[in-house]
Amino acid sequence: MAKKRATKKKATTPRGTDDSGGSSGGTGAGRQARPWGLDVPAYMATFSFLGQFEGLDTPFAQAGATKLSALRYWNEVGDGSRRTAAKALALRIDERFTEWLGAHYEAGIDFGSAISELFSVLESGRTRTVKDLADTADDLYRMRREAD
């Protein structure tokens, strides 16, 4: 019996958005940029996780602009080592959202596509920010207390 491979599925336009603009990444390329704030559960969850496990010590208000390369996983040893660390961190983030926080994948998202999207952002840590990662998480996961 052949095993099914997880395929990367892009969500169409995420809920509550239109195709007129966007942020710098994540699954919702057409998503309108949201301000970094406490009203988005995925922003709080990402900030909390990075503070606990990745050495993010910037206050919340400024944390969204922090480059991912400032976090513990990022290293200058070489691309192979950095890719391994980014993949491991993507797995830990997915576990945090799905197991600890009880989030579900958004429509069209599965485990494989979630890891791929998170890894893509983490791998680009020199140019991507905590907000980029949080936006991606917001597009991938449906939080329990999230409004429609």
Report the alpha-carbon distance of residue 88 to residue 93 in Å, rounded: 9
- By CB atoms closer than 10 A (0-12, 13-18, 19+), residue 22 is middle
Closest CA to 120 of 36, 5, 10: 10
Quick one: angle between helices 79-95 and 111-123, nearest 10? 130
pLDDT of residue 77: 77
> Does pTM top 0.85 for this prediction?
no
3-class DSSP assignment, residue 91: helix
pLDDT of residue 31: 56
pLDDT of residue 2: 39
Mean pLDDT, 10 residues at a time, the chain of 148 residues: 36 33 41 83 96 96 97 85 94 97 96 98 96 97 77
Q: Which residues contact 136 (CB under 8 A, 6 or more apart)?
A: 25, 26, 27, 117, 118, 121
In 12-76 the beta strands, taken as DSSP E runs, fall at none
Closest CA to 35 of 66, 17, 61: 61
pLDDT of residue 100: 93
pLDDT of residue 96: 96
pLDDT of residue 28: 47
Question: Contact at 8 Å (CB) between 123 and 18?
Answer: no
pLDDT of residue 32: 60
